[in-house]
């Protein structure tokens, strides 16, 4: 097992990895840039090293990070999610310098990061994919031809895209002509590649993803699925495990497809295979070669520590489980509490957290890196915490989520929490039957009134009195 591990990330996922290392007897090393000097992952790690004044550069320089790992005696690096987690060069440099990369090898990352190469691999493995272009588009003329063949609407996608960027829906040739240069421009700026491809737009699908684990001995298993249909502009808001929408037969089918996908590319470590479901048809969407933000809910329903398994696999150890060992129990929901104002088109709300109180009680988990007095910097994503709830049945899980959201106190910035409370009240959500169109089809849920808790009012009165008295 590793003796020392560098965490090439920040925020709540870095804290999550620190905790896994502590349980495994591994010394953890954090890195930070100037805005994160007082961040929680810096305080919690066994060691912390300054990575530069530029907010982002220190987290995005693979050679410098690997050199720091070598200098500090680390024998492994965990990339978390985002930043360099799906950067093939980063994994390759780790291998060159003799530092274990907690993730798949560079070749797999490269192939699965290229959406057209991933499609080709899945087709070869007999896994259904959405109709679309065979490889990257040569030009607009070809895009128009493919679109006419598969039928509108279509999705124009950046080959190296991710995180909801580099994607445009086109409902007719006029829109495709307008969006084609825009997607190329966005892809070039965000991902350094102008390659794009085209797929048939699957209308009102369910977005289902399957968690997989695979070791270096050729064993691969799945940990069941997560439902990510509640999303806004391709950004996930609430995730659920398992999906309340799947039959046992569908659950077994998508799980088998995910394992087949992993074996087809000789996958190793934790990963996620994403599918779209529509009219009982299943289509492969993409494979994420890293730990997902929403891995927490899979841990809640299976009892498997996914980050711990990642580290064990990277150390060359075999999986501790076989497929028959994995069972799911109850339902778990994850709410991404973002510092955004839903009533103002989800405008980011960066600033100082004047008060934070984490909800607790049975079946409640919070993964976060914030604390009272912490200032959310404007350089990174706006997620404050992941609130996870679990209960034995669907209705109880919803009620527990409502209670936990009401218990939480996060003041100083606006958050998405009130919006999630409205979603939990919605009959269409509570029915357990919804698609990726849920959010745009329910704009009325944004018409909530923000009620201040008595404790907030008391604090405001006390502050006013203190200011008046000149204290």
- Residues serving a catalytic function are 290
3-state secondary structure of 77: strand
**Strand pairing of 269-278 and 340-341?**
unpaired
Contacts of residue 124, defined as CB under 8 A and 6 or more positions apart, other chains included, come to 264
Q: What is the DSSP string of 153-183?
A: SEEEEEEEEETTEEEEEESSHHHHHHHHHHH
What is the Cα–Cα distance from 68 to 358, expressed in whole angstroms?
34
In the chain, the largest separation of any two C-alpha atoms, in whole Å, equals 75
Residues of the chain with pLDDT > 90, as a percent, come to 89
What is the Cα–Cα distance from 277 to 280, expressed in whole angstroms?
6
Q: Residue 131's pLDDT is what?
A: 92
What's the mean pLDDT in 106-135?
A: 93
3-state secondary structure of 294: coil
Structure token digits, residue 181: 């240069």
What is the Cα–Cα distance from 5 to 16, expressed in whole angstroms?
13
What is the Cα–Cα distance from 436 to 206, expressed in whole angstroms?
6
Contacts of residue 26, defined as CB under 8 A and 6 or more positions apart, other chains included, come to 1, 2, 3, 4, 5, 76, 311
pLDDT at 162 over 80: no
Structure token digits, residue 36: 């994160």
What is the Cα–Cα distance from 181 to 410, expressed in whole angstroms?
42
Structure token digits, residue 220: 């691969």
Predicted confidence band at 160 (pLDDT cuts at 50, 70, 90)?
confident
Predicted confidence band at 159 (pLDDT cuts at 50, 70, 90)?
confident
Angle at 367 between CA 89 and CA 74, to 5 degrees: 40
What is the Cα–Cα distance from 380 to 411, expressed in whole angstroms?
19
Q: Residue 13's pLDDT is what?
A: 98
What is the Cα–Cα distance from 9 to 86, expressed in whole angstroms?
12
The reported pTM is 0.91
What's the mean pLDDT in 297-323?
A: 98
Question: What's the half-sphere exposure (Cβ side, CA atoms, 13 Å) at 426?
Answer: 22
Predicted confidence band at 300 (pLDDT cuts at 50, 70, 90)?
very high
Q: Residue 454's pLDDT is what?
A: 59
End-to-end CA distance of the chain: 56
pLDDT at 458 over 70: no
Structural domains of the chain, with CATH: 4-102 (3.40.50.20), 131-200 (3.30.1490.20), 206-446 (3.30.470.20)
Structure token digits, residue 254: 């998508």
The position carrying tokens 């049975």 is 362
Measured in degrees and rounded to the nearest 5, phi and psi for residue 230 equal -85, 95
Among 154, 156, 163, CA closest to 190 = 163
């Amino acid at each position: 097992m590793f003796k020392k591990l560098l965490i090439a990330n920040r925020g709540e996922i870095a804290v999550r990895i620190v905790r896994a290392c502590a349980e495994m007897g591994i010394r953890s090393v954090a890195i930070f840039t100037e805005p994160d000097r007082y961040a929680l992952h810096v305080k919690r790690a066994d060691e912390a090293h300054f990575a530069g004044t530029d907010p982002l550069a220190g987290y995005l320089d693979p050679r410098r990070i690997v050199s720091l790992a070598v200098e500090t005696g680390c024998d492994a690096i965990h990339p978390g999610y985002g930043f360099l987690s799906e950067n093939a060069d980063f994994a390759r440099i780790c291998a060159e310098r003799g530092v274990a990369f907690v993730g798949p090898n560079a070749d797999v990352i490269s192939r699965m990061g290229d959406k057209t190469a991933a499609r080709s691999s899945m087709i070869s493995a007999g896994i259904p994919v959405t109709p679309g272009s065979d490889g990257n588009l040569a030009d607009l003329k070809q895009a128009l031809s493919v679109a006419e063949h598969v039928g509108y609407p279509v999705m124009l996608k950046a080959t190296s895209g991710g995180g909801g960027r580099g994607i445009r829906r086109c409902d007719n040739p006029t829109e495709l002509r307008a969006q084609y240069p825009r997607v190329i421009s966005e892809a070039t700026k965000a991902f350094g590649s102008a390659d794009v491809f085209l797929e048939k737009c699957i209308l009102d699908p369910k977005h289902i993803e399957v968690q997989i684990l695979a070791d270096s001995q050729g064993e691969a298993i799945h940990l069941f699925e997560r439902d990510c249909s509640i999303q806004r502009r391709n950004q996930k808001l609430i995730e659920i495990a398992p999906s309340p929408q799947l039959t046992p037969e569908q659950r077994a089918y998508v799980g088998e497809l995910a394992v087949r996908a992993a074996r087809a590319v000789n996958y190793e470590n934790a990963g996620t295979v994403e599918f779209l479901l529509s009219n009982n048809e299943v289509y492969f969407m993409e494979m994420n070669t890293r730990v997902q933000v929403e891995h927490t809910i899979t841990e809640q329903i299976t009892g498997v520590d996914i980050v711990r398994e990642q580290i064990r696999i990277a150390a060359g150890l075999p999986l501790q489980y076989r497929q028959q060992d994995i069972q799911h129990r109850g339902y778990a929901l994850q709410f991404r509490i973002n510092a955004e104002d839903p009533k103002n088109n989800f405008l980011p709300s960066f600033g100082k957290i004047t008060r934070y109180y984490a909800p607790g009680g049975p079946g409640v988990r919070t993964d976060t890196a914030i604390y009272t007095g912490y200032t959310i910097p404007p350089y990174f994503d706006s997620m404050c915490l992941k609130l996870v709830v679990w209960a034995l049945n669907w209705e109880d899980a919803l009620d527990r989520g409502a209670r936990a959201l009401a218990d939480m106190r996060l003041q100083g910035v606006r958050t998405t929490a009130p919006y999630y409370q409205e979603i939990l009240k919605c009959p269409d959500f509570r029915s357990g039957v919804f698609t990726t169109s849920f959010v745009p089809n329910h704009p009325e849920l944004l018409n909530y009134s923000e009620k201040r808790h008595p404790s907030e009012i008391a604090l405001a009165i006390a502050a006013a009195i203190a200011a008046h008295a000149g204290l």
